[in-house]
Structure formats: structure tokens, C-alpha cells
Amino acid sequence: MPVVKIRIDGLNELKKNMAQSPRIVHEELSRFVKTTVNIIRPMMRREVPFKSGKLSQNIQSKSNGLRGEIGPNLSATPYAIFVHEGTKPHEIRPTTKKALYWKGALHPVKVVRHPGTKANKFVDRTAREAEKITPRILTTFINNINKRLTK
């Protein structure tokens, strides 16, 4: 009886590459996270409202393996949450002195009625923009994985 033989060229190389696949996938995905964080950080810095520049300068990013974060450094700019979420009208009273005074004020005052501030959702806007570009970046790294596994 005739027999059909099938030969797979490169099978030994494929087996070797597949054994390396968890390492290769982790390396490429880690590079994807680091690259994406480095692309998104300047995007967020552009979205931050500019007054003194301190908030924009304190947008930080970090990546570690498959995890990345981008956002304001809350130690340096604890007011970032109030910029992002806004504030309700509130009173400001002195805490260490008897009165409040600032450059341009006509005289010291005991209380200021702040009208509140409108929320400026710079993190949310950045996230929406990042969602548009992240799939293209990921495709590049998936292609890198495929190339490395099939070489």
C-alpha cells in the first residue's frame, strides 16, 4: 500500500523557538509597555493646563515588565487631583496667621469665598487619545514576536 510522507522543513528550529517563546513574548511585551509609556507621557504633559508649568513638569512615568503608569507626581503636586476633579465653592481661612494676604490684595482679609474650579480631566483626555494609538503600537510588537519565533 502506498504511504504519504509529510516532511516539515525547519521543525527542529520551530521546536527550539517555541521553547523560547515565553521569554521572547515577555521581552517584547515589556518593550511594548516601556515604549507606550514613553509615547503617552508627553501626550499627557500637553493636556495639563499650564499656569506655572509645575504640574506639567511633574507628570511622571514608570514601567516595570508588563506594568506601566503615567500620571502626576502627587508628592510634588498634591493639588493635581483638584485640577483634574475640580472643586466646589468653599471658604478659605487662615491656618497659621490671623488674616490672609497675597500680592495685589488691597488689605488682609479673614476669609475668602472661593467660587470653586471647573474640572480639567487631563488624564481622561490622555487615556482616550492613547486608546487610539495603542493598538498600532501593539501590532508592531506582535509582529516582532512572530518574527523572532519563526526565524
Over the stretch 25-36, which tens digit does the pLDDT of each residue have?
999 999 999 999
Q: State how far the alpha carbon of 25 is from the alpha carbons of 99, 101, 130, in Å.
A: 61, 59, 22
Q: What is the largest CA-CA distance in the chain?
A: 108
Residue 91 has pLDDT above 80, yes or no: yes
- Band (pLDDT 50/70/90 cuts) for residue 8 is confident
Which residues make Cβ contacts (< 8 Å) with residue 34, sequence separation at least 6?
A: 63, 68
Q: Judge residue 78's burial from the number of C-beta atoms within 10 Å of its C-beta, 0-12 exposed, 13-18 middle, 19 or more buried.
A: exposed
Cross-strand partners of 71: 60
CA distance 44 to 59: 7
Give the model's pLDDT for residue 146.
87
Give the model's pLDDT for residue 46.
95
> What is the 8-class DSSP label of residue 75?
T
Phi, psi of 6 (to 5 degrees): -115, 130
101-134 tens-digit pLDDT: 999 999 999 999 999 999 999 999 999 999 999 9
Which residues make Cβ contacts (< 8 Å) with residue 116, sequence separation at least 6?
A: 86, 87, 88, 89, 90
Taking residues 79-93, what's their average pLDDT?
96
Q: What is the mean pLDDT of the chain?
A: 91
